[in-house]
Amino acid sequence: MIPYGRHQITPDDVAAVVDVLENRFLTQGDQVPLFEQDLCEYTGACHAIAANSGTSALHIACLALDIGPGDVVWTTPISFVASANCARYCGADVDFVDIDPETHNISLQALSDRLDAARRQHRLPKAIVVVHYAGLSCDMQSIRSLTEADGIHLIEDASHALGGYYQERPVGCSDWSEATIFSFHPVKSITSAEGGALLTRDPELARKARLFASHGITRDASAMEDNPDGPWYYQQVALGYNYRLSELHAALGRSQLVRATTLIEARATKAGRYCEALKHLPLRLPGGTEFARSAWHLYPVELMEHDRSRIYEVMVSRGIGVNVHYIPIHLQPYYRRLGFSPGDFPVAESFYQKMLTLPLFPELSADEQEQVIHALTESLN
Ligand SMILES: *Cc1c(COP(=O)(O)O)cnc(C)c1O
């Protein structure tokens, strides 16, 4: 079976992890701070806080922005559930904004309409988690201009988009948001096995996020509420979690980050091949925008005439591991119990009905890719 995504591990990656095992601390050594520094250099962000998953990073972003009961957080239905769950962890309400049919990112028109309605109802969101679906950045400047007057915080869920660009700046720089989140799950741009990070330009947000990622404990005397009893002293000043990344994971992430650009280029080349080979088929192919360069996490196609379930089955029976990204979050039983129903976000629901993710990853061979193209062309004819 050709999977839809697969990580790449090189001898350098293995050596980096073995070096930690044989010679270094396993936790709280120098690899995590070095990985954080490398992420800042790669993206242009001022601060990076590594976490043990992208989901943990989303949670500490919400905590650091003081999101809690009584607040509302918006996101889009076409994402992984973590984009919404992070707000629920903090006791906030979640609502969704429909997607744009071309980019599958948050729709600017729908966002603008919903903000007008929310202003009238005095129920504006405290934050919006925008998702750079499939690796293509949202139009952050436009989203900022819609939300800025009301002081709405923006969190970029860039789990798909490390290595992408927006207005010639690397995704993660957080020029137009309070914070950006990456995931280093094995199907993403680079992997640390499990792992994630929060990036920000805001030193105070960085300080709070770091506190929440490590039990709410500080060893910095200036952050304590009394004078330290002695050099051993630490204080728990908030209720935090243990969301730390281990040194093994950080060493793997660092080693992978060195070749992130090469990995994204390999994805982009293969995406170009799909575009060329599939353009005459009855499919809507993922488009670009003039302002962003995708990191090509996914290659999502939309069927125009055919039944998705049938094509899915034909492809899987031929050894092609197509997938579906995503089941709209508001249709999950947990969110239905919170009051959402089918029909609430029609563009997202229609996209879900018609979409298939084709295999795309750096080591997808030319031969494997031709098998995918051949199988899809045959199944649509
Ligand atoms: C992968 C992913 C996450 C969560 O990442 P983990 O590292 O698996 O916790 C969050 N949001 C989106 C859009 C993702 O694709």
Per-position DSSP letters for 178-242, written without gaps between them: SEEEEE--TTSSS--SS-EEEEES-HHHHHHHHHHHBTTEE--GGGSSS--SSTT--EE-S---B
Please compute the mean of the pLDDT values over residues 5-19 and round it to a whole number: 98
Cα 318 to averaged position of ligand 1 atoms, centre (Å) = 28
Is pLDDT above 90 for 252?
A: yes
Reported as a single tens digit per residue, the pLDDT across 141-155 is: 999 999 999 999 999
Task: Give 226 Cα–ligand 1 centroid separation in angstroms.
Answer: 39
pLDDT band at 327 (very low <50, low <70, confident <90, very high): very high
The reported pLDDT for the residue numbered 272 is 97
User: pLDDT (tens digit, 9 = 90+) per residue, 34-88?
Assistant: 999 999 999 999 999 999 999 999 999 999 999 999 999 999 999 999 999 999 9
Q: How high does pLDDT run on average in the chain?
A: 97
**Atom 7 of ligand 1 has which residue's CA nearest to it?**
54
Distance 224 CA to ligand 1 centre (A): 34
pLDDT at 19: 98
Phi, psi of 75 (to 5 degrees): -150, -170
Q: Which residues pair with 127 in a beta bridge?
A: 73, 153
Residue 252 is inside which H or E element, if any? Answer: helix 247-257
Q: Tell me, using a 6 A CB cutoff, whether residue 263 lines ligand 1.
A: no
How is the beta sheet containing 355-358 ordered, strand by strand? 283-284, 299-303, 355-358
> What is the per-residue pLDDT across 280-308, written as a single tens digit (0 to 9) for each?
999 999 988 999 999 999 999 999 999 99
Percent of the chain with pLDDT over 90: 98
Distance from residue 54's CA to the centre of ligand 1 (Å): 5
| H/E stretch holding 369 | helix 366-380
**pLDDT at residue 114 above 90?**
yes
Q: Is 53 close to ligand 1, i.e. is its CB under 6 Å away?
A: yes
Q: Cα(183) to centroid of ligand 1, in Å?
A: 5
For residue 75 and ligand 1, the question of a CB distance below 6 A is answered with: no
The mean per-residue pLDDT over the stretch 191-219 comes to: 98
Q: Is the CB of 183 under 6 A from ligand 1?
A: yes
Share of the chain above pLDDT 70, in %: 100
* pTM for this entry: 0.98
Strands 153-157 and 165-166: unpaired
Can you tell me the mean pLDDT for 162-166?
Answer: 98
Report pLDDT for 287.
84
Name the one residue in this structure whose structure tokens are 């137009």. 176
Nearest CA to ligand 1 atom 6: 54
Residue 288 confidence (pLDDT)? 84
Does an H or E element contain 73, and which?
strand 72-75
CA 114 – ligand 1 centroid, Å: 26
